[in-house]
Chain A
Protein backbone atom coordinates (compact mmCIF):
# COMPACT_ATOMS: atom_id res chain seq x y z
CA UNK A 1 0.00 0.00 0.00
CA UNK A 2 1.15 3.51 -0.71
CA UNK A 3 -0.03 7.09 -0.45
CA UNK A 4 -0.10 8.53 -3.96
CA UNK A 5 0.74 12.10 -5.00
CA UNK A 6 -2.33 14.25 -5.58
CA UNK A 7 -2.46 16.56 -8.60
CA UNK A 8 -3.22 20.14 -7.58
CA UNK A 9 -4.67 23.05 -9.49
CA UNK A 10 -3.64 24.51 -11.91
CA UNK A 11 -2.37 21.17 -13.25
CA UNK A 12 -4.04 20.85 -16.69
CA UNK A 13 -4.36 17.08 -16.28
CA UNK A 14 -7.23 17.69 -13.85
CA UNK A 15 -9.27 18.74 -16.90
CA UNK A 16 -8.69 15.47 -18.71
CA UNK A 17 -11.66 13.15 -19.30
CA UNK A 18 -11.02 9.66 -17.92
CA UNK A 19 -11.52 6.37 -19.78
CA UNK A 20 -13.72 3.48 -18.66
CA UNK A 21 -12.04 0.53 -16.95
CA UNK A 22 -12.11 -2.71 -18.96
CA UNK A 23 -9.73 -4.96 -17.00
CA UNK A 24 -10.79 -5.98 -13.49
CA UNK A 25 -7.58 -7.58 -12.23
CA UNK A 26 -5.26 -7.62 -9.24
CA UNK A 27 -3.47 -4.53 -10.47
CA UNK A 28 -6.78 -2.62 -10.40
CA UNK A 29 -7.51 -3.84 -6.88
CA UNK A 30 -4.03 -2.86 -5.69
CA UNK A 31 -4.49 0.60 -7.18
CA UNK A 32 -7.89 0.97 -5.50
CA UNK A 33 -6.32 0.13 -2.13
CA UNK A 34 -3.68 2.82 -2.66
CA UNK A 35 -6.33 5.29 -3.76
CA UNK A 36 -8.35 4.62 -0.62
CA UNK A 37 -5.28 5.07 1.57
CA UNK A 38 -4.54 8.37 -0.20
CA UNK A 39 -8.10 9.57 0.42
CA UNK A 40 -7.88 8.74 4.12
CA UNK A 41 -4.51 10.50 4.41
CA UNK A 42 -5.92 13.75 3.03
CA UNK A 43 -7.25 16.17 5.66
CA UNK A 44 -10.95 15.46 6.03
CA UNK A 45 -11.16 13.64 2.71
CA UNK A 46 -14.37 11.64 2.21
CA UNK A 47 -13.92 10.97 -1.49
CA UNK A 48 -11.31 10.71 -4.21
CA UNK A 49 -11.19 10.04 -7.93
CA UNK A 50 -8.47 8.20 -9.85
CA UNK A 51 -7.55 11.19 -12.07
CA UNK A 52 -6.65 13.15 -8.92
CA UNK A 53 -3.62 10.88 -8.63
CA UNK A 54 -2.89 10.97 -12.36
CA UNK A 55 -4.62 7.74 -13.39
CA UNK A 56 -7.20 8.66 -16.00
CA UNK A 57 -9.65 5.84 -15.49
CA UNK A 58 -13.23 6.00 -14.28
CA UNK A 59 -12.73 4.94 -10.65
CA UNK A 60 -13.96 6.83 -7.58
CA UNK A 61 -14.03 6.08 -3.88
CA UNK A 62 -16.45 7.62 -1.39
CA UNK A 63 -16.78 6.94 2.32
CA UNK A 64 -18.78 9.35 4.46
CA UNK A 65 -19.40 6.83 7.25
CA UNK A 66 -17.17 8.71 9.72
CA UNK A 67 -19.59 11.64 9.85
CA UNK A 68 -22.30 11.68 12.53
CA UNK A 69 -25.98 11.49 11.48
CA UNK A 70 -25.14 10.97 7.82
CA UNK A 71 -26.97 8.33 5.75
CA UNK A 72 -24.30 6.25 4.02
CA UNK A 73 -23.25 2.98 2.41
CA UNK A 74 -19.86 2.80 4.12
CA UNK A 75 -16.95 2.42 1.75
CA UNK A 76 -18.04 2.62 -1.89
CA UNK A 77 -15.56 1.80 -4.63
CA UNK A 78 -17.25 2.71 -7.89
CA UNK A 79 -15.80 1.67 -11.23
CA UNK A 80 -17.35 3.16 -14.38
CA UNK A 81 -20.09 4.89 -12.36
CA UNK A 82 -23.12 6.38 -14.12
CA UNK A 83 -25.73 8.51 -12.42
CA UNK A 84 -29.11 7.36 -13.69
CA UNK A 85 -31.48 9.60 -11.72
CA UNK A 86 -31.30 12.97 -9.97
CA UNK A 87 -33.72 14.61 -7.57
CA UNK A 88 -33.79 17.81 -5.53
CA UNK A 89 -31.21 20.59 -5.47
CA UNK A 90 -29.30 22.05 -2.60
CA UNK A 91 -26.41 24.43 -2.11
CA UNK A 92 -23.59 23.05 0.00
CA UNK A 93 -19.99 23.82 0.69
CA UNK A 94 -17.22 21.82 -0.96
CA UNK A 95 -13.49 21.65 -0.92
CA UNK A 96 -11.16 19.38 -2.84
CA UNK A 97 -7.91 17.52 -2.18
CA UNK A 98 -6.73 19.03 -5.49
CA UNK A 99 -7.63 22.62 -4.47
CA UNK A 100 -5.84 23.45 -1.20
CA UNK A 101 -7.06 26.28 1.05
CA UNK A 102 -10.29 27.06 -0.77
CA UNK A 103 -13.91 26.09 -0.30
CA UNK A 104 -17.03 27.27 -2.07
CA UNK A 105 -20.73 26.74 -2.54
CA UNK A 106 -21.99 24.33 -5.18
CA UNK A 107 -25.49 23.17 -6.14
CA UNK A 108 -25.92 19.39 -6.22
CA UNK A 109 -28.80 16.95 -6.41
CA UNK A 110 -29.92 15.77 -2.98
CA UNK A 111 -30.79 12.25 -4.13
CA UNK A 112 -29.19 10.23 -6.89
CA UNK A 113 -29.36 6.71 -8.23
CA UNK A 114 -26.29 5.23 -9.82
CA UNK A 115 -24.96 2.12 -11.43
CA UNK A 116 -21.32 1.04 -11.42
CA UNK A 117 -19.04 -1.99 -11.30
CA UNK A 118 -17.24 -3.24 -8.25
CA UNK A 119 -13.54 -4.17 -8.34
CA UNK A 120 -14.39 -7.64 -9.65
CA UNK A 121 -16.47 -6.24 -12.49
CA UNK A 122 -19.85 -7.13 -10.97
CA UNK A 123 -22.64 -4.62 -11.54
CA UNK A 124 -23.72 -2.66 -8.45
CA UNK A 125 -26.45 -0.10 -7.82
CA UNK A 126 -26.77 2.55 -5.14
CA UNK A 127 -29.21 5.20 -4.07
CA UNK A 128 -27.44 8.04 -2.26
CA UNK A 129 -28.80 11.08 -0.47
CA UNK A 130 -27.53 14.38 0.95
CA UNK A 131 -23.86 14.45 1.92
CA UNK A 132 -23.05 11.10 0.32
CA UNK A 133 -24.85 12.10 -2.89
CA UNK A 134 -22.84 15.34 -2.93
CA UNK A 135 -19.57 13.45 -2.54
CA UNK A 136 -20.42 11.03 -5.36
CA UNK A 137 -21.35 13.87 -7.72
CA UNK A 138 -18.14 15.76 -6.87
CA UNK A 139 -16.00 12.67 -7.56
CA UNK A 140 -17.75 11.74 -10.79
CA UNK A 141 -17.15 15.32 -11.98
CA UNK A 142 -13.41 14.61 -11.66
CA UNK A 143 -13.84 11.76 -14.17
CA UNK A 144 -15.17 14.31 -16.65
CA UNK A 145 -12.39 16.82 -15.97
CA UNK A 146 -14.56 19.12 -13.85
CA UNK A 147 -13.68 20.70 -10.51
CA UNK A 148 -16.10 22.25 -8.03
CA UNK A 149 -14.52 25.55 -9.09
CA UNK A 150 -16.37 25.06 -12.40
CA UNK A 151 -19.69 25.01 -10.55
CA UNK A 152 -19.38 27.71 -7.88
CA UNK A 153 -22.49 29.70 -7.05
CA UNK A 154 -23.19 32.65 -4.81
CA UNK A 155 -24.85 31.99 -1.48
CA UNK A 156 -27.70 34.17 -2.72
CA UNK A 157 -28.73 31.58 -5.28
CA UNK A 158 -29.93 29.39 -2.48
CA UNK A 159 -32.71 31.66 -1.36
CA UNK A 160 -35.39 31.26 -3.95
CA UNK A 161 -35.24 27.51 -3.85
CA UNK A 162 -36.48 27.42 -0.30
CA UNK A 163 -39.92 26.07 0.35
CA UNK A 164 -40.64 28.74 2.92
CA UNK A 165 -40.49 31.49 0.35
CA UNK A 166 -44.06 32.08 -0.80
Chain B
Protein backbone atom coordinates (compact mmCIF):
# COMPACT_ATOMS: atom_id res chain seq x y z
CA UNK B 1 0.00 0.00 0.00
CA UNK B 2 1.52 3.28 -1.08
CA UNK B 3 1.14 6.52 0.82
CA UNK B 4 2.07 10.12 0.37
CA UNK B 5 4.52 11.61 2.83
CA UNK B 6 5.65 15.20 3.20
CA UNK B 7 9.38 15.57 3.76
CA UNK B 8 10.77 18.79 5.15
CA UNK B 9 14.54 19.23 5.24
CA UNK B 10 16.55 22.26 6.28
CA UNK B 11 20.26 22.81 6.58
CA UNK B 12 23.20 24.93 5.63
CA UNK B 13 23.39 25.18 1.83
CA UNK B 14 26.05 23.07 0.21
CA UNK B 15 26.57 21.53 -3.23
CA UNK B 16 24.78 18.33 -4.15
CA UNK B 17 21.95 18.27 -1.61
CA UNK B 18 19.13 17.84 -4.11
CA UNK B 19 20.92 15.21 -6.17
CA UNK B 20 21.96 13.12 -3.15
CA UNK B 21 18.52 13.25 -1.58
CA UNK B 22 16.51 12.52 -4.70
CA UNK B 23 18.85 9.64 -5.60
CA UNK B 24 18.44 8.05 -2.15
CA UNK B 25 14.66 8.28 -2.41
CA UNK B 26 14.57 6.93 -5.94
CA UNK B 27 16.88 4.01 -5.14
CA UNK B 28 14.78 3.18 -2.08
CA UNK B 29 11.61 2.90 -4.19
CA UNK B 30 10.07 6.32 -3.48
CA UNK B 31 8.61 8.66 -6.08
CA UNK B 32 8.72 12.42 -5.93
CA UNK B 33 5.50 14.38 -6.39
CA UNK B 34 5.28 18.14 -6.08
CA UNK B 35 8.23 19.84 -4.44
CA UNK B 36 9.52 23.25 -3.51
CA UNK B 37 13.22 23.73 -2.84
CA UNK B 38 15.01 27.00 -2.34
CA UNK B 39 17.81 28.83 -0.64
CA UNK B 40 16.65 31.03 2.24
CA UNK B 41 19.17 33.04 4.21
CA UNK B 42 22.08 30.78 3.35
CA UNK B 43 20.12 27.67 4.26
CA UNK B 44 18.70 25.23 1.82
CA UNK B 45 15.08 24.30 2.40
CA UNK B 46 13.21 21.41 0.87
CA UNK B 47 9.57 20.46 1.00
CA UNK B 48 8.50 17.55 -1.08
CA UNK B 49 5.76 15.02 -1.53
CA UNK B 50 7.07 11.47 -1.68
CA UNK B 51 5.00 8.49 -2.70
CA UNK B 52 6.34 5.47 -0.78
CA UNK B 53 5.12 1.95 -0.04
CA UNK B 54 6.75 1.54 3.39
CA UNK B 55 6.16 3.04 6.79
CA UNK B 56 7.15 6.47 7.97
CA UNK B 57 10.11 5.05 9.86
CA UNK B 58 11.26 3.08 6.81
CA UNK B 59 11.27 6.28 4.81
CA UNK B 60 13.09 8.06 7.64
CA UNK B 61 15.88 5.48 7.66
CA UNK B 62 16.16 5.81 3.88
CA UNK B 63 16.67 9.55 4.13
CA UNK B 64 18.74 9.61 7.35
CA UNK B 65 22.18 8.81 5.86
CA UNK B 66 21.89 11.66 3.35
CA UNK B 67 20.49 14.06 5.94
CA UNK B 68 23.35 13.28 8.30
CA UNK B 69 26.11 13.55 5.72
CA UNK B 70 24.66 16.80 4.39
CA UNK B 71 23.86 18.29 7.80
CA UNK B 72 20.11 18.53 7.24
CA UNK B 73 17.33 18.43 9.81
CA UNK B 74 14.58 16.18 8.53
CA UNK B 75 10.90 15.95 9.38
CA UNK B 76 8.44 13.52 7.85
CA UNK B 77 4.65 13.51 8.01
CA UNK B 78 2.25 11.10 6.48
CA UNK B 79 -0.28 13.21 4.57
CA UNK B 80 -3.56 12.86 2.80
CA UNK B 81 -2.06 14.10 -0.42
CA UNK B 82 -3.03 13.95 -4.05
CA UNK B 83 -1.48 15.09 -7.28
CA UNK B 84 -3.48 17.00 -9.88
CA UNK B 85 -5.07 19.27 -7.29
CA UNK B 86 -3.70 22.49 -8.76
CA UNK B 87 -5.86 25.53 -8.17
CA UNK B 88 -5.70 28.45 -10.53
CA UNK B 89 -4.87 31.80 -8.96
CA UNK B 90 -7.07 34.65 -10.13
CA UNK B 91 -5.18 37.51 -8.51
CA UNK B 92 -1.55 38.53 -8.08
CA UNK B 93 -0.35 41.02 -5.48
CA UNK B 94 3.06 42.62 -5.30
CA UNK B 95 4.33 44.53 -2.29
CA UNK B 96 7.61 46.37 -2.11
CA UNK B 97 9.22 49.27 -0.37
CA UNK B 98 11.28 50.12 2.67
CA UNK B 99 11.36 47.21 5.06
CA UNK B 100 9.38 47.71 8.22
CA UNK B 101 8.37 45.65 11.18
CA UNK B 102 5.08 43.82 10.86
CA UNK B 103 4.63 44.38 7.13
CA UNK B 104 3.84 40.73 6.33
CA UNK B 105 1.35 40.45 9.17
CA UNK B 106 -0.34 43.71 8.20
CA UNK B 107 -0.66 42.81 4.52
CA UNK B 108 -1.71 39.19 4.91
CA UNK B 109 -4.27 40.03 7.60
CA UNK B 110 -5.90 42.65 5.38
CA UNK B 111 -5.93 40.27 2.42
CA UNK B 112 -7.31 37.40 4.44
CA UNK B 113 -10.15 39.58 5.75
CA UNK B 114 -10.92 40.54 2.15
CA UNK B 115 -11.40 36.89 1.20
CA UNK B 116 -8.04 36.02 -0.31
CA UNK B 117 -6.83 32.42 -0.18
CA UNK B 118 -3.06 32.50 -0.58
CA UNK B 119 -1.86 29.79 -2.94
CA UNK B 120 1.75 30.97 -3.08
CA UNK B 121 3.75 33.59 -1.27
CA UNK B 122 7.35 34.53 -1.88
CA UNK B 123 8.98 37.24 0.13
CA UNK B 124 12.48 38.57 0.18
CA UNK B 125 14.58 41.36 1.61
CA UNK B 126 16.76 43.04 -1.00
CA UNK B 127 18.64 46.34 -0.91
CA UNK B 128 21.42 46.64 1.65
CA UNK B 129 21.94 46.35 5.42
CA UNK B 130 21.39 50.08 5.78
CA UNK B 131 18.48 50.36 3.39
CA UNK B 132 16.64 47.07 3.24
CA UNK B 133 13.91 46.76 0.64
CA UNK B 134 11.04 44.43 1.28
CA UNK B 135 9.55 42.49 -1.65
CA UNK B 136 6.60 40.14 -1.55
CA UNK B 137 4.74 38.31 -4.30
CA UNK B 138 1.44 36.65 -3.61
CA UNK B 139 -0.76 34.61 -5.90
CA UNK B 140 -4.14 33.62 -4.66
CA UNK B 141 -7.80 33.01 -5.17
CA UNK B 142 -10.18 35.88 -4.41
CA UNK B 143 -12.99 34.03 -2.68
CA UNK B 144 -15.19 37.12 -2.42
CA UNK B 145 -14.23 38.56 -5.77
CA UNK B 146 -11.49 40.74 -7.16
CA UNK B 147 -12.96 44.06 -6.02
CA UNK B 148 -12.94 43.02 -2.37
CA UNK B 149 -9.20 42.25 -2.47
CA UNK B 150 -8.50 45.39 -4.49
CA UNK B 151 -10.22 47.50 -1.82
CA UNK B 152 -7.97 45.91 0.82
CA UNK B 153 -4.89 46.72 -1.28
CA UNK B 154 -6.03 50.34 -1.48
CA UNK B 155 -6.27 50.49 2.30
CA UNK B 156 -2.76 49.02 2.58
CA UNK B 157 -1.51 51.69 0.20
CA UNK B 158 -3.04 54.45 2.31
CA UNK B 159 -0.94 53.16 5.20
CA UNK B 160 2.19 53.84 3.16
CA UNK B 161 2.92 50.27 2.07
CA UNK B 162 3.35 50.13 -1.69
CA UNK B 163 1.17 47.31 -2.90
CA UNK B 164 -0.24 46.63 -6.33
CA UNK B 165 -2.79 44.13 -7.52
CA UNK B 166 -3.72 42.72 -10.87
CA UNK B 167 -6.04 39.97 -12.05
CA UNK B 168 -4.47 36.76 -13.28
CA UNK B 169 -6.14 35.82 -16.56
CA UNK B 170 -4.90 32.42 -17.57
CA UNK B 171 -4.62 32.01 -21.33
CA UNK B 172 -5.23 28.41 -22.43
CA UNK B 173 -4.22 27.60 -25.97
A residues in contact (CB < 8 Å) with B? 39, 42-49, 62, 67, 92-97, 101-103, 131, 134-135, 138-139, 155-156, 158-159, 162, 164-165
Contacts and interface: CB of A to CB of B under 8 A. Distances in A.
Q: Is the interface of A mostly helix, strand, loop or mixed?
A: mixed
A48 B86 CA distance: 23
Contacts of B171: 46-47, 92-95, 131, 134-135, 138
8 contacts: A44-B170, A94-B170, A94-B171, A103-B170, A156-B122, A159-B96, A162-B94, A164-B162
Interface string B62-95: 0000000000000000000000101011001010
B169 A45 contact: no
Contacts of A42: 172
B135 interface: yes
Q: Is the interface of B mostly helix, strand, loop or mixed?
A: strand
Contacts, number: 71
Interface residues of B, number: 21
B5 to A, nearest CB: 22
Contacts of B169: 67, 92-93, 131
B173 interface: yes
Interface in B83-140: 84, 86, 88-89, 92, 94, 96, 120, 122, 124, 135, 137, 139
Contact of B173 (A47, A156, A162, A165): A47
Contacts of B170: 44, 93-95, 103
